[in-house]
Amino acid sequence: MNRLEKKISTILNSAMTDDLTDYGNIIKSMKKSLGLPFFGTKKIAAALLKECLGDVSHFDYDYNVFKTGTSSKPVFEDTVDGKVRLFMNIGKNHRVSPGDVIREIVKRSGIDGKLIGKIDIHQSYSFIEIPEQYAEIVLVSFDNVRFRGTVVVLEPAKRKKRD
């Protein structure tokens, strides 16, 4: 692995595991100053990569370079209108509220709480709807998480059985 590939690997691992809330807030401010609400984030990310990585004209954009060590991507069976349903092994018995779920997701993954969809809390488990593009980040951010003493298991929900 060359120097550039190592830097990219470090960036990807940071994106998947670190709390980047403060950096996200800086990007939001930078995006507002650009006045480009739809393209600003991408342009800022590209500029940051240019500053961090330098010249990449010689770089081969092989997909394998961007793998972060996870063995396989999760399969999201229950997807509707661009939202994925996730299963969580925490429910009413654990004194969890929709606000608790939203706070934990925002705190751990860094996604905007407004993006979180419907939250169904049952006695011993819950279902959460997340935009498909953020689902994998949310899943990874819940590795080794405890909520009120219980280890949280967050995984793609199985498809609803239709009668």
Scan for tokens 């996730």, then name that residue.
86
127's tokens: 């279902």
- Give the domain 79-156 fold: Alpha-Beta Plaits (3.30.70)
Run of H or E including 105: helix 98-109
**Mean pLDDT of the region 52-59:** 76
Cα–Cα distance for residue pair 152/134, rounded to 1 Å: 18
> What's the whole-model pTM score?
0.54
pLDDT at 55: 77
pLDDT at 39: 62
| CA separation, residue 17 to residues 54, 102, 141 (Å) | 24, 18, 6
pLDDT, tens digit (0-9, with 9 covering 90-100), for 91-139: 999 999 999 999 999 988 888 999 999 999 999 999 999 998 888 889 8
Cα–Cα distance for residue pair 60/2, rounded to 1 Å: 12
Question: What are the structural domain ranges in the chain?
Answer: 3-66, 79-156
Cα–Cα distance for residue pair 140/68, rounded to 1 Å: 12
Spatial contact of 17 and 66, defined as CB atoms under 8 Å apart: no
